[in-house]
C-alpha cells in the first residue's frame, strides 16, 4: 500500500466525491439545447454547480436555482439564490415563490430543465394554506431530531408543500420538462430526491400522520389539522406529469464503485456492504465494528489490506445537547465498539461536506483514537451520549473539513483493515 491509512481513506472519500461532480455528470446527461424558450429551475446543495455545468454546455439560460448558503456558483444567466438548510428560512420561501411565478403561463412549445439534488426539501419551501413558514421550520427541526429515515421525513414534507410531490412539474405544465437529479436517498427513488417535486406521489396525508406518530414527532396544531384535511400532491398518472422525464445522473453506487476501484489500485481487497444502508448511526457502527473484527480475525499473515465500503443515509435520534451529525456519531460509536483494535482505521463523511448542520464533512478514526482522547481528558462515551461527536473530533484534530463539495450523494464510509 503506497499511502498510510489516514491518507488512503481520505483519497477514497475524495474519489467518491469527484465522480459525482455535476461538471462531470451534467454534460453526459444533457440533450442538445431545445429550440424556443428554455427555463432552468432547481434546488439543492448541488443545484448551483449543476446550473453552472448546464451553462457550460448550453450557454446562458433563463432561470432560478436555490442552494444552501455558501454553495453558490458563478452562472452566466441563471440566478442563484442562497437559503437556509436543513431548516428553511424566508429567503428560501421567497425564492420558491419567484420560481413558481417563472413557471406560470408556459406553453407546450417551452422547455423546462429541472436540477434537483439533496437539500431541495428544505431549500424549496412553499407551505400549503393554513401552515406558516414558522410551522414548517418547527416540523423540519422536529423531524431531523426524531431519527426517522429520509424517505419517511419526505412523506411528511410533501403533504405540507405546494411544490413537492409532483407539484413543481404540474406548475410548469404544459411545457416539456426534463428533471436531472443527483441522488442522496437510499435506493435512488426519484420520488424521494428533494421530496420529488417533479415526480407523482401516491402517498396519503394519513401516511404522513402515521410517520409523526411512529417517531413521536411533535408538530403545531395547524400541521396536524392540514394533514387531516388532505393535501395537493400530484398522483402518478396525472395528465400534468405526462410531459415530464426524470433521470438520476449521479448516485451513491457510482461513487462507491469509484472508491472501490481506487482501493484495488492501491493494493487492497474490497468488500462493498451496500449503498443504501439506513438506521441509527451508533447502531450501524456497532454492526460494522463486529464485521471488521470478524474480517480481521480471519486474515492470515501477509494478507492484503481490506476495505469495507458502505453508503446510504444514517440517522440520529437526538438525546443530548451536543454538536454532531450522523457521520461523526457513527465514527465515534465505531471507535468505541472497536476499542483500539489493532490495524483498523475508518472514515465516515457526508459527500456534500456538511454532516448534520455543521460545516464538517465527518471524521477519521484509528487504533489510537480512544487512547489519545483519554490522554486529553476526553470521555468518548459521554460525548456519544450527548450527541457531541463533532466537539470530540475537533478536540482530537480528526475532523474531515472539505468546505462545500457542490455535490451530494449521501454518506460515505470506509473501514480499512491492514
Superfamily classification of domain 31-250: Glycerate kinase, MOFRL-like N-terminal domain (3.40.50.10180)
Q: What is the mean pLDDT of residues 68-88?
A: 96
For the chain, the structural domain boundaries read: 5-15+253-417, 31-250
CB-neighbour burial class of residue 227 (10 A; exposed 0-12, middle 13-18, buried 19+): buried
- With pLDDT > 90 as the criterion, what percentage of the chain qualifies? 92
Cα 351 from Cα 334, distance rounded (Å)? 19
CB-neighbour burial class of residue 74 (10 A; exposed 0-12, middle 13-18, buried 19+): exposed
Q: What is the mean pLDDT of residues 263-285?
A: 97
pLDDT of 302? 81
Instruction: Record the cell numbers describing residue 270, joined without a space.
Output: 474490497
**pLDDT tens readout for residues 307-360:** 999 999 999 998 899 999 999 999 999 999 999 999 999 999 999 999 987 899
* pTM (two decimals): 0.92
Q: How far apart are the first and last CA of the chain?
A: 9
Q: Are 5-15+253-417 and 31-250 in the same CATH fold?
A: no
**pLDDT tens readout for residues 145-199:** 898 998 899 999 999 999 999 999 999 999 999 999 999 988 899 999 999 999 9
CB-neighbour burial class of residue 103 (10 A; exposed 0-12, middle 13-18, buried 19+): buried
**pLDDT tens readout for residues 194-247:** 999 999 999 999 999 999 999 999 999 999 999 998 778 999 999 999 999 999
5-15+253-417 CATH, one of 1.20.1630.10, 3.40.640.10, 3.40.630.10, 3.40.1480.10: 3.40.1480.10
Are 395 and 341 within 8 A, CB to CB? no
| Cis bond before residue 86 (omega within 30° of 0) | yes
Q: SS3 letters for the chain?
A: CCCCHHHHHHHHHHHHHHCCCHHHHHHHHCCCCCCCCEEEEEECCCHHHHHHHHHHHHCCCEEEEEEECCCCCCCCCCEEEEECCCCCCHHHHHHHHHHHHHHCCCCCCCEEEEEEECCHHHHCCCECCCCCHHHHHHHHHHHHHHCCCHHHHHHHHHCCECCCCCHHHHHHCCCEEEEEEECCCCCCCHHHHHHCCCCCCCCCHHHHHHHHHHCCCCCCHHHHHHHHHCCCCCCCCCHHHCCEEEEEEECHHHHHHHHHHHHHHCCCEEEEEEEEEEEEHHHHHHHHHHHHHHHHHHCCCCCCCEEEEEEEEEECCCCCCCCCCHHHHHHHHHHHHHCCCCCEEEEEEECCCCECCECCCEEEECCCHHHHHHHCCCCHHHHHHCCCHHHHHHHHCCEECCCCCCCCCCEEEEEEEC
Nearest to 399 by CA among 367, 339, 354, 336: 354
Are 240 and 170 within 8 A, CB to CB? yes
**pLDDT tens readout for residues 346-394:** 999 999 999 987 899 999 999 999 999 999 999 999 999 999 999 999 9
Amino acid at each position: 500500500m503506497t499511502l498510510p491509512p489516514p491518507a488512503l481513506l481520505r483519497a477514497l472519500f475524495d474519489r467518491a466525491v469527484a465522480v459525482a461532480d455535476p461538471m462531470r455528470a451534467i454534460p453526459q446527461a444533457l440533450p442538445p439545447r431545445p429550440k424556443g424558450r428554455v427555463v432552468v429551475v432547481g434546488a439543492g446543495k448541488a443545484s448551483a454547480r449543476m446550473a453552472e455545468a448546464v451553462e457550460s454546455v448550453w450557454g446562458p439560460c433563463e432561470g432560478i436555482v436555490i442552494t444552501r448558503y455558501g454553495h453558490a456558483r458563478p452562472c452566466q444567466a441563471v440566478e442563484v439564490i442562497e437559503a437556509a438548510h436543513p431548516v428553511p428560512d424566508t429567503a428560501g420561501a421567497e425564492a420558491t415563490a419567484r420560481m413558481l411565478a417563472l413557471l406560470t403561463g408556459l406553453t407546450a412549445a417551452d422547455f423546462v430543465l429541472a436540477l434537483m439534488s439533496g437539500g431541495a426539501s428544505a431549500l424549496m419551501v412553499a407551505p400549503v394554506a393554513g401552515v406558516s413558514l414558522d410551522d414548517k421550520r418547527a416540523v423540519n427541526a422536529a423531524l431531523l431530531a426524531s431519527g426517522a429515515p429520509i424517505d419517511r421525513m419526505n412523506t411528511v414534507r410533501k403533504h405540507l408543500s405546494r411544490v413537492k410531490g409532483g407539484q413543481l412539474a404540474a406548475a410548469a405544465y404544459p411545457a416539456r420538462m426534463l428533471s436531472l437529479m443527483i441522488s442522496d436517498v437510499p435506493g435512488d427513488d426519484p420520488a424521494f430526491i428533494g421530496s420529488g417535486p417533479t415526480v407523482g406521489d401516491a402517498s396519503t396525508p394519513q401516511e404522513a400522520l402515521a410517520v409523526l406518530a411512529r417517531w413521536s414527532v411533535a408538530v403545531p396544531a395547524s400541521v396536524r389539522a392540514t394533514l387531516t384535511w388532505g393535501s395537493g400532491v400530484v398522483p402518478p398518472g396525472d395528465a400534468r406529469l405526462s410531459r415530464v422525464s426524470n433521470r438520476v445522473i449521479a448516485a451513491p453506487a457510482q461513487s462507491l464503485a469509484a472508491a472501490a476501484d481506487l482501493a484495488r489500485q492501491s493494493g487492497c481487497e474490497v468488500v462493498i456492504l451496500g449503498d443504501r444502508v439506513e438506521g441509527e448511526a451508533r447502531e450501524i457502527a456497532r454492526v460494522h465494528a463486529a464485521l471488521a473484527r470478524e474480517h480481521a480475525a480471519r486474515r492470515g499473515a501477509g494478507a492484503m489490506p481490506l476495505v469495507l465500503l458502505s453508503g446510504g443515509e444514517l440517522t440520529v435520534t437526538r438525546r443530548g445537547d451536543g454538536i454532531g451529525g450522523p457521520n461523526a456519531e457513527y465514527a465515534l460509536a465505531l471507535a468505541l465498539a472497536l476499542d483500539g483494535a489493532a490495524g483498523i482505521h475508518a472514515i465516515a463523511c457526508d459527500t456534500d461536506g456538511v454532516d448534520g448542520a455543521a460545516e464538517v464533512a465527518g471524521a477519521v478514526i484509528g487504533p489510537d483514537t480512544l487512547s489519545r482522547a483519554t490522554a486529553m481528558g476526553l470521555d468518548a462515551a459521554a460525548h456519544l451520549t450527548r450527541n457531541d461527536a463533532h466537539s470530540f473530533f475537533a478536540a482530537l484534530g480528526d475532523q474531515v473539513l472539505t468546505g462545500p463539495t457542490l455535490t451530494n450523494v449521501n454518506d460515505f464510509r470506509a473501514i480499512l483493515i491492514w
